[in-house]
Amino acid sequence: MTRMVMEQVGEEILRLDAVDFVRSGKPILSDISMTVRAGEHWALIGPNGAGKSTILSMCGAERHPTRGTVHVLGRQLGRVDIRTLRESIGHVNPRQPIRAALGVREVILTGATGTNDYMIRWEPDPALVRRADELIDMLGLEALRDAEWPTMSQGERGRTLIARALLTDPPLLLLDEPSTGLDVAAREQLLSTIDELHRTHPTLATVLVTHHLEELPETTSHAVLISHGRILAAGSVDDVLTTELVTEAFEYPIRIEKSDGRFSARAGRARPVVG
């Protein structure tokens, strides 16, 4: 049974109700229900294959549920123009397949078209260019104004992709394992960027997927623990990410600690076998 452990307040941004997802006859998700409100910052945590990425794809209006309903920004999937809805969702994917030698500003501006390259004969209006430049300053990318995508580090690309996702000022931001491929310094810089973003955009709602608790920003407010396609627990991050619940989700003894607002996980002591 899912354990809901926090009262919710604020404007609803995202809601999944009794969602099932079946692929090729195999159940991937079962009875998924969660509500994300303005200003909340959720983390989806669970072992590989638990269903985290599938849930995120529904949050981003990329997949429809087999059963149940998904409401994103007040619109129900299946009853709305998906392309228009996606324009109001920011999505940060470190595996974004940008191959062209675009500059930082150009990559950010592709967030207006949702493409991986400049669209032929498309020119951004001056307001959009000003917004891109504001984001370059806000995310500390000034020194990279002349850099091109192929020469940028993974950490620089990560901050650029966050700027790209924020270009249209979306109310919902999805972060799909944003620390993938980063060394510890680049990871910490990225997490500091996300924390600052949360503080300066008080109504922005975010959903972040990760396997590692060390990759959670300090400002994470809520968490969902997923195991075998089901929600084990959902609610306040401090109530959900406990030694007992994380151990149950990963089916392995894991000791959870929190210091200075950040979580860490280490192997715990295995329970003695009785019998």
Burial track 84-114 (b if 16+ CB lie within 10 A, e otherwise): ebbeebbbbbbebebeeebbbbbbbbbbbee
Predicted local confidence at residue 275, as pLDDT: 46
Tens digit of each residue's pLDDT (9 = 90 or more) over 133-186: 999 998 889 888 888 888 888 889 889 999 999 998 999 999 999 988 888 998
Q: Which of 169, 187, 209 is the last residue of a domain?
A: 169
Tally the residues of the chain.
275
Query: Number of folded domains in the chain?
Result: 2
| Higher pLDDT, residue 3 or 101 | 101
Structural domain containing residue 153: 97-169
Q: Is there a single domain that holds both residue 177 and residue 75? A: yes
Q: Is there a single domain that holds both residue 139 and residue 242? A: no
